[in-house]
């Protein structure tokens, strides 16, 4: 383990915590999928989720991987924000392909609400 880097396991998912004191930043990240081959429609859906259902976590692509990421100023981070960030990263990774949500809240005003309602109708029909 090196300074500023931790590995956690939350709900059977590996979560990385990376801090940089000089830049006053921290990241909580979890890998979601390989970025190569993601269809344009799915990438579009990820951007919709980033607007309204991802909340403080976000989908991001780096080094050939689709990540769920929470980024926050390190100096202003408190315990509750950190725990919320970890939970949102895990939820966002786990809901990839379904609701694309980091939690039970939605910012609203975006496209996800209608898409989630359609998904629920499809699941109810099964």
CA-to-CA distance for 88 and 82, rounded, in angstroms?
A: 10
- CATH code for the domain in which residue 68 is found: 3.30.1460.10
pLDDT of residue 52: 87
* Reported pTM: 0.82
Q: What domain count does the chain have?
A: 1
32 contacts 59 by C-beta, under 8 angstroms:
yes
Reduce the secondary structure of 99-114 to three states and give it as a string.
CCCCCCCCCCCCCHHH
Containing structural domain, residue 55? 5-124
* 75 — pLDDT class (breaks 50, 70, 90): very high
Query: Tokens in use for 38?
Result: 């993601």
pLDDT band for position 2 (50/70/90)?
A: confident
Q: What do you get for the CA distance between the two ends of the chain, in Å? A: 46
The owner of tokens 């315990």 is 79
């Amino acid at each position: 383990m090196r300074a500023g880097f931790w590995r956690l396991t939350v709900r059977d998912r590996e979560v990385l915590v990376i801090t940089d004191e000089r830049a006053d930043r921290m990241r909580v990240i979890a890998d979601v999928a390989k970025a190569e081959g993601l269809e344009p429609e799915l990438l579009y859906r990820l951007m919709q989720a980033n607007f309204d259902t991802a909340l403080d976590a976000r989908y991001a692509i780096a080094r050939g991987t689709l990540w769920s990421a929470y980024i926050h100023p390190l100096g202003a981070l408190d315990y509750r924000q950190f725990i919320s960030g970890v939970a949102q990263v895990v939820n966002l990774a786990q809901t990839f392909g379904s609701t694309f949500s980091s939690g039970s809240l939605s910012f609203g005003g975006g496209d996800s609400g209608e898409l989630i309602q359609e998904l629920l109708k499809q699941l109810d029909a099964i």
